[in-house]
Amino acid sequence: MTITKRIATDVGGTFTDLVAIETGPEGMKITTAKSDTTPPNFEAGVLNVMAKGNIDPKDVDFMVHGTTVVINALTERKGVTVGLITTKGFRDTLEIARGNRPDFFNLHYEKPEPFVPRYLRAEVPGRMTYLGAERIPLDLSGVPDIVDNFRAEGVQAVAISLLHSYANTAHEEAVLAEIQRLWPDVSVVASHQITREWREYERSNTAVLSAYVQPVAARYLGNLDQSLREKGLPQSPYIMQSNCGVDSLAATSAVPITMVESGPASGFWGAAELGKLIDEPDILALDIGGTTAKCSLIEGGEVRIMTDYWIERSRKSAGYPIMVPVVDLVEIGNGGGSIAWVDDFDKLHVGPQSAGALPGPAAYGKGGTNATTTDANLWLGRINKDYFCGGAVDADMDSAGSALKAVGDKLGVSTDEAAQGIVRIANNNMVNALKLVSLNRGHDTRDFTLLAFGGGGAMHAVALGQELQVKKVVVPAAASVFSAWGMMMSDLRRDYFVTQLADLSEGSAMGIEAVFAKAEVEARATFKAEGVDPAKLTFLRYGKFRYQNQEHTTEVLLDGTVTDGALSKIADDFHGAYEREYTYRLDAPVEMVGIHLVARAEVGKLEMIPAPLGDADASEAIKGTRDVDYALEGKHLATIYDGEKLRAGMAFNGPAIIEDPGTTVVIHPNNTVSIDAYGNIHILLEGQS
Amino acid sequence: MSDPITLEIIQNSLQATSDEMFAAMRKTAMSSIIYEVLDMGTGITDAQGRIASSGAGIPAFIGVLDKSVQFILSKFGDDIKPNDVFITNDPWHGGVTHLNDLVLAMPVFADGAIIAWTANIAHNSDVGGMAPGSLSGDATEIFQEGLRLPAVKLIREGVTDQAVMDIITCNSRMPDFLLGDVWAAIAAVRIGARRLEDLSVKYTPTTFKAAMDSFMDFGEKTALAELAKLPKGTFELSEPQDDGCTYNVKVTITDDEFIVDLRDNPTQDKGCTNTSRDGTIVCAQMLFKSVTDPETPANEGAFRPLKVLTTEGTVFHAQEPAAIGFYFETEVRVYDLIWRCLAPHVPERLPVGHFSSICGTFVGGTHPDTGRQYTIIEPQIGGWGAWEGRDGNPCIFSGFHGETYNTPAEISEARNGLFIDKMELNTAPGGEGEFNGGRGLVLEYRIRTKNGFLTAGYTRSVVKPWPLDGGEEGSGNFIEVDKAAGEREHYAFVSGLDLTTDDVVRVITSSGAGFGDPKKRAHDAVALDIKNGFITPERAREIHGYGE
């Protein structure tokens, strides 16, 4: 049996991470490494981290790469100048947007600026109807002038978005061909290449943002591929996507916008895969990093993928829509570095401002004077002050103490109470985010396992789990590099969303089946062109349904071919799913609004190898004891365990703390802990068995 | 256990619950005015009906729900039971706005006593009355505007009163929509009530109540702190209106009071441009909140320093049975009146005038592809006023609407069976200044079948958005109808106009007003305006002195 070597590299804002896993007759060997991110030549950082981890590209059988290049180019406005071609009468769609004022009492609200100014938004005559019929023929006679003007204005990428192109792509295809003919070397994208769903503002903005980042991302991926191949990497890396799958480097270079939320997606996919591995298919996944916490719900081992994704959207701003498949997640500004502050009216808040890497929490001793969640966790003994950041940083407890005291003074409470307050507020913010993806959608949290990862996940997980009364809490092995592990578990995956209205009544099945069949043919052709064995390709079919006259849809998983005989079961499934989410059902006609087809193929996914379960006695992993303040449950003497010495089969009870170089697991009194065959930590809450 | 952290956690949970009710209702409603336009609101009051928290949506609806709950409390007294759900829509029975807006409210109990209410309000597509969509500019009595629901029980201890439900649906031209929307509203108050019950069990009803009280006291404290920073004195304004009337306001600001005196105003309208006193109070509350503290969530405490004086029998305090269908235009006028009165005195807190009309537009007929009836009920977006240092926003909803969305052309064409020929910025002259007002909208509906109708009511058509410091006024709101036969008609108020195939209804909304002398506008800014096609070189020379 040969050794297979898989690696995942992840380029973040500060660090580039590497995880390598070798599987072979000896079992599994996991290596991690970290080095600085190297803008603007990011590929250098990737090669550096591989060298640091002693990885020779020649030996790598399968490589996945994740990057924040797209989201960074968008938020830092570092894309290229884009020209937009749209339907006559709709030049201003991008600027009109949806007209909403989320910050409604603020009369000085500032509407987000469009990414393309008016003088670079051009129109072509021609109209399709919503049924996909041509109403007014396309007139391309103005396109040469448009192209000349775009060139003169320094346009580097062109986006095309025409009305009703989701229903009929012919006009967009014709404009696309004309641009390619007149200006062969320009980067160009038409909206239908990214999405086949309706809503012209959302689709146009998606095409524009994709064009905006395309040259930047293509250059990045091209350089990365070339550097790695020159060093002997046998096949191009796969690129992590926002839909929890990976895609080929070539396909991603053409439409890079699909990478926009790839960072969180890999962690949530890891959560789904880990759930299957440990027989817990229903998971509440929580990822707590330095500045934010993100959560997502996984049901039956499946993540939920949606196309209602916005950047820079908040209670203060309308943001910008990107209509691509993105894992359904809620993100809040609450991480380890989130700053605690007291407002003018003596109310305590935590986040969304973060102390970042510099100066970082006060305890970093780098001049930070603001108390952060990490400082509070240190002060309460939850984090070991003598093993801060895995021993890499000397905790500056004086700075942490005075920062916390300042918060306490403003509130009129002791430093201890201030630290407890910060942890409780942070926990409450996270509980509310977890409720948004669970209770608010009709899911009972008692049926779910809370899986916590990221640097800070394990510190708060038990408190959150107790509040939500989850089934149990699981902290994965190597929780701090869990996202990279998730990448290695990903399939080559594409999500096809197509808007297609159809009544759910006798005789309509054939039309619905045809939409799925057409999308499947398209998917097969695309996968085949990339050399994927057709036998490996599998599909999941979802229909998007609603009661007639409603707008928002509920997604229902369909089983096999859509026939007239199957319609009543589909309707029943819809009524059931609707009632669970909204508490009632109606005796009204049901209609389909569109399809969501998932096409995926395994391309080198990691197979985990269980270790034999050993003795339950965990005493050899004990480092000592210390007082830990559990906030609501008060102070307790906790046993401290060395996470690196925990072995499959070990078991013990709380109060306890598990310390690992990357994370700290806080085990509350009355919790029971066991280590499974993959090194994951299972925590049962009080009264559970 | 009522330490400050616990109170804070309960308050955060109230906000989360209001938001959850809002999301649930949005996703399940049947009428596009609810799910797309989001002409709706959700909220939580305490046991006495004081507003404690509200969801996203429309600022003009936040101050409504407390008044509804207070009316229900006074009408039903001890006859309020767990799992009851009440419904009202009548402004003289706690409904505040107009008959289309159905308010649902549900008491939340703990240990046999009411601890809170969950409530919501939404514009329903048709509640009967003399005209499709229930709104008619021709109405002279409320009886012509639909079915009046004088705060009644829709659900008694968990059991739906089918008689009430049947009466409501039977009176609507669109019973399926109405039923779907009412169930969406019921689901929302129930979801909210369940969350509040959980909260009070977890933290005890006493702590739960203490959290609400402290949150409201916090609101008052914030408002008073900001009030202290405002200039003191009495400020007055008389403003002519499109219909020839003059509206008057006096605002007196003291250290602890903000008094809006609207007593000297015209006798109530014989038609439907009237509002209830409660509606007038809501307008004053909105402007007061924006001037004092737009940041923190609105609750009863935040409004405590506000006093509103009105005279019964005037347009701002209409007597039963006045018609009130177009109450929103009367309300947006009084809201803008207070705004304009104060703007010269607190220019750092208030931009200059915006298009300032709901521009309520109602188009109906038969869908040519499905044969089903359609009704568009839409407020429009328009230009906002500039302020020192910044141009106004183009095309957003008026100060009345907030987290409200316009309808995409692709969806409108599919749902309503008409064509949208264009939806673009209005580049008509107007709103120039050192800082320009934002651009309004040009939206064209091309009708595809016979037997269609148009009803609309726009103000700021004659008396246009107001500038400051030498800026230009906005361009004005109106409607043009290009008849298929060839002639062009011009309207601000129109009721039940017949439309037929190939008629084009053109909605034109105003730019916001400008701030400061247009001659002072930066050269580069004018050059970009010209390049973007927002102004012609000739107009730029004339108004900005560009190129001279």
Nearest CA in chain B to A165: B410
Q: Which residues of A468-490 are buried (b: 16+ CB within 10 A; e: fewer)?
A: bebbbbbbbbbbbbbbbbbbbbb
Query: Is the predicted pLDDT of residue B102 greater than 90, yes or no?
Result: yes
Euclidean distance between CA atoms B539 and A540, whole angstroms? 59
Q: Do A104 and B403 touch (CB under 8 A)?
A: yes
pLDDT category of residue B57 using cuts at 50, 70 and 90: confident
Question: Which of A96, A200, A582 is facing B24, going by the closest CB pair?
Answer: A582
Q: Name every chain B residue with its beta carbon within 8 A of the beta carbon of A341.
A: none
- What integer pLDDT is reported at residue A688 of this predicted model? 65
Q: Do B290 and A432 touch (CB under 8 A)?
A: no
Which residue ranges does chain A devote to CATH 3.30.1490? 492-601
Query: Is the predicted pLDDT of residue B240 greater than 60, yes or no?
Result: yes
| DSSP of B75-136 | HHTT---TT-EEEE--GGGT--S-TTEEEEEEEEEETTEEEEEEEEEEE-S---SSSTTS--
Euclidean distance between CA atoms B391 and A113, whole angstroms? 12
Query: Is the predicted pLDDT of residue B1 greater than 50, yes or no?
Result: no
Euclidean distance between CA atoms B125 and B133, whole angstroms? 6
Q: Which two tokens stand for residue B347?
A: 């220019």
Asked if B52 and B215 count as a contact pair (C-beta separation under 8 A), the reply is yes
| DSSP of A233-276 | -SSPPEEE-TTSSEE-HHHHHHSGGGGTTHHHHHHHHHHHHHHH
Could you tell me the fold of the domain covering A492-601? Dna Ligase; domain 1 (3.30.1490)
B204: DSSP letter: -
Question: Which of B16, B23, B36 is facing A432, going by the closest CB pair?
Answer: B16
Q: Mean pLDDT, to the nearest integer, of B173-192?
A: 92
3-state helix/strand/coil string of B428-442:
CCCCCCCECCCCEEE
pLDDT digits (tens, 9 = 90+) for A321-339: 999 999 999 988 888 899 9
Q: Is A341 on the interface with B (CB under 8 A)?
A: no
Q: Which two tokens stand for residue B133?
A: 């969509």
pLDDT digits (tens, 9 = 90+) for A136-146: 999 999 999 99
pLDDT digits (tens, 9 = 90+) for B478-507: 999 999 999 999 999 999 999 999 999 999
Q: Name every chain A residue with its beta carbon within 8 A of the beta carbon of B406.
A: 96, 98-99
Q: Is A181 on the interface with B (CB under 8 A)?
A: no
Euclidean distance between CA atoms B528 and B50, whole angstroms? 50
Q: Name every chain A residue with its beta carbon within 8 A of the beta carbon of B56.
A: 102, 315
Question: Which of B184, B369, B396 is facing A99, going by the closest CB pair?
Answer: B396
Nearest CA in chain A to B4: A347
pLDDT digits (tens, 9 = 90+) for B214-229: 999 989 999 999 999 9
Looking at chain B, the whole-number percentage of residues with pLDDT higher than 70 is 99
Closest CA to A327 of A269, A284, A247: A269
Residue among A95, A101, A432 with most chain B CBs within 10 A, to mutate: A101
Q: Is A102 on the interface with B (CB under 8 A)?
A: yes
Tracing tokens 């007038």 back to the chain, one arrives at: B280
Euclidean distance between CA atoms B300 and B296, whole angstroms? 12
pLDDT digits (tens, 9 = 90+) for A121-168: 999 999 999 999 999 999 999 999 999 999 999 999 999 999 999 999
ipTM of the complex: 0.94
Angle between helices B327-342 and B277-292 (to 10 degrees): 40
Asked if B178 and B124 count as a contact pair (C-beta separation under 8 A), the reply is yes
Q: Which residues of A626-654 are buried (b: 16+ CB within 10 A; e: fewer)?
A: eebbbbeeeeeebbbbbbeebbbbbebeb
Mean of per-residue pLDDT scores for chain B? 94
Query: Is the predicted pLDDT of residue B518 greater than 80, yes or no?
Result: yes
Closest CA to A202 of B407, B30, B27, B404: B407
- In residues, how long is chain A? 689
Q: Name every chain B residue with its beta carbon within 8 A of the beta carbon of A131.
A: 369
Nearest CA in chain B to A552: B27
Q: Is A78 on the interface with B (CB under 8 A)?
A: no
- What integer pLDDT is reported at residue B464 of this predicted model? 98
pLDDT digits (tens, 9 = 90+) for A373-405: 999 999 999 999 988 887 888 899 999 999 999
Strands (E), A338-448: 338-342, 348-354
Q: Is A619 on the interface with B (CB under 8 A)?
A: no
Nearest CA in chain B to A112: B393
Q: Is A428 on the interface with B (CB under 8 A)?
A: yes
| DSSP of B1-36 | ---HHHHHHHHHHHHHHHHHHHHHHHHH-SSHHHHT
Contacts A–B by Cβ distance under 8 A: 198
Cα–Cα distances (Å) from A305 to A136, A296, A439, A557, B231, in that order, read: 36, 10, 18, 12, 53
pLDDT digits (tens, 9 = 90+) for A273-291: 999 999 999 999 999 988 8
Residue among B1, B27, B33, B448 with most chain A CBs within 10 A, to mutate: B27
* pTM score, whole prediction: 0.92
Q: Name every chain A residue with its beta carbon within 8 A of the beta carbon of B411.
A: 198-199, 551
Q: Name which of B8-12, B56-60, B130-134 the model is least confident about.
A: B56-60
* H-helix or E-strand spanning residue B143: none
Q: Is A91 on the interface with B (CB under 8 A)?
A: yes
Asked if A596 and A305 count as a contact pair (C-beta separation under 8 A), the reply is yes
Q: Name which of A221-230, A232-241, A611-620, B370-379 the model is least confident about.
A: B370-379
Q: Do B423 and A583 touch (CB under 8 A)?
A: no
Q: Which two tokens stand for residue B47?
A: 């046991």
